[in-house]
């Protein structure tokens, strides 16, 4: 439902809140400062973000991210009626893990509060935000931990993007997918999923991916998975089935074929000899 003034947000004791704000025509926001940090993703529309007496105003079109530290006096003005997705979190949430504080400090230390990370990150954010909202609206065991994990993943993934990822060039989008693949190779990846994240055709994506990584998408995915499986087997604390599953393989016979082709021996024999 459209709103005509800022929505009230209360951050609970566990420190994380997800919210949506769809602005109606005539939306007005006076300059304000909140007692919590917030990350604002512009899903649709366009806003102007200003910090009265601080940074110069910036335009934030769809796909932009605004990082607003707690206590920062700021104001949003609609340029085109927007839909905003909010992640709000307390100072205490950042204090629980030094890495989260470092990620947030990196995001807020630059000359601008606005990032344009590209469609690959936007899709990842969308999935995490939806997961957070589902957890927030339910009462499943571990809900607070799941909310914290979703928020942490959002902050870390954004902080890991290089400054150059703010451009929307095709190569940068492919590089973002390659980084995502390196971190989540164990998930259900496919070329179709990678192309969708980059917002590109199979042919264009495949050409650029080989240029960026030196391998085809399937070669890169296989190498990441098999290297991880070998590491687990070498440590001696995982079965062949466990190493295969942990690396993203559900078909054990397929894993055996790939492992033998890569290392010259079946995984069990290879592990016994290393």
The verdict on 75 and 140 lying in the same domain is yes
User: Is residue 145 domain-shared with residue 175, that is, in the same domain?
Assistant: no
* Whether residue 122 sits in one domain with residue 108: yes
* 129-180 tens-digit pLDDT: 999 999 999 999 999 999 999 999 999 999 988 654 443 467 877 888 999 9
Backbone angles phi and psi of 61, in degrees to 5: -80, 180
Are residue 162 and residue 178 in the same domain, yes or no? no
Q: What angle do CA 89, 92, 95 make, to 5 degrees?
A: 110
Q: Note whether 119 and 163 are same-domain residues.
A: yes
Domain's final residue, options 167, 198, 221: 167
Q: Within a domain: residue 71? A: yes
Same domain, 63 and 125: yes
Tell me if 133 sits within 8 A of 18, measured CB to CB. Answer: yes
Residue 101 to residue 99: CA distance in whole angstroms: 5
Find the domain containing 256 and state its range. Answer: 169-274
Q: 157 and 190, same structural domain?
A: no
46 shares a domain with 160 = yes
Q: Are residues 153 and 251 in the same domain?
A: no
**11 occurs within a structural domain:** no
Residue 136 lies inside a defined structural domain of this protein: yes
255 shares a domain with 159: no
CATH value at residue 190: 1.10.10.60
Q: Which of 144, 167, 190 is the last residue of a domain?
A: 167
CB 145 within 8 A of CB 188: no
Same domain, 129 and 246: no
- The dihedral through the CA atoms of 135, 101, 163, 66 has a sign that is positive
Buried b vs exposed e over 221-241: b needs ≥16 C-beta within 10 Å?
bbebbbebbbebbeeeebebe
What residue spans of 37-142 are helical by DSSP H? 91-95, 98-108, 119-137
What is the pTM for the complete model shown? 0.64
> What is the total count of domains within the chain?
2
Same domain, yes or no: 173 and 233: yes
Pull the structure tokens for residue 173.
């989008």
Distance CA 60, CA 269 (A): 56
Q: Specify whether the CB–CB gap between 143 and 12 falls below 8 A.
A: no
The single-letter DSSP state of residue 59 is E
Tell whether 39 is covered by a domain: yes
What does each C-alpha distance from 79 to 25, 44, 49, 50, 76 come to in angstroms? Answer: 10, 11, 10, 13, 9
- For 10-49, write each residue's pLDDT tens digit: 999 999 999 999 999 889 999 999 999 999 999 999 999 9
For 82-116, write each residue's pLDDT tens digit: 999 999 999 999 998 889 999 999 899 876 678 88
User: Residue 174 in contact with residue 202, Cβ under 8 Å?
Assistant: no
Q: Which of 135, 167, 199 is the last residue of a domain?
A: 167
């Amino acid at each position: 439902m459209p709103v005509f003034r800022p929505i009230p947000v209360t951050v609970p004791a566990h420190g994380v809140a997800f919210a949506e704000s769809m602005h109606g025509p005539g939306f007005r926001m006076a300059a304000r400062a909140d007692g919590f940090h917030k990350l604002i993703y512009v899903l649709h529309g366009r806003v102007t973000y200003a910090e009265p007496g601080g940074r110069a105003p910036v335009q934030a079109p769809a796909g932009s991210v605004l990082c607003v530290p707690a206590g920062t006096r700021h104001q949003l003005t609609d340029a085109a009626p927007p839909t905003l997705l909010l992640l709000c979190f307390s100072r205490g949430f950042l204090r629980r893990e030094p890495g989260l504080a470092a990620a947030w400090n990196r995001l807020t230390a630059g000359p601008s509060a606005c990032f344009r990370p590209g469609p690959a990150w936007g899709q990842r954010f969308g999935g995490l935000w939806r997961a957070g909202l589902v957890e927030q609206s339910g009462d499943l065991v571990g809900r607070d931990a799941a909310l914290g994990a979703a928020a942490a993943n959002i902050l870390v993934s954004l902080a890991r993007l290089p400054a150059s990822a703010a451009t929307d060039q095709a190569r940068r989008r492919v590089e973002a997918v390659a980084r995502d693949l390196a971190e989540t190779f164990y998930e259900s990846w496919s070329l179709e999923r990678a192309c969708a994240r980059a917002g590109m055709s199979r042919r264009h994506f495949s050409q650029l991916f080989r240029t960026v990584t030196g391998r085809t998408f399937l070669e890169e995915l296989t190498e990441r998975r098999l290297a991880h499986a070998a590491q687990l087997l070498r440590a001696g604390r995982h079965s062949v089935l466990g190493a295969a599953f942990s690396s993203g393989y559900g078909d054990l016979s397929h894993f055996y074929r790939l492992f033998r082709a890569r290392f010259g021996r079946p995984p069990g024999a290879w592990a016994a000899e290393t």
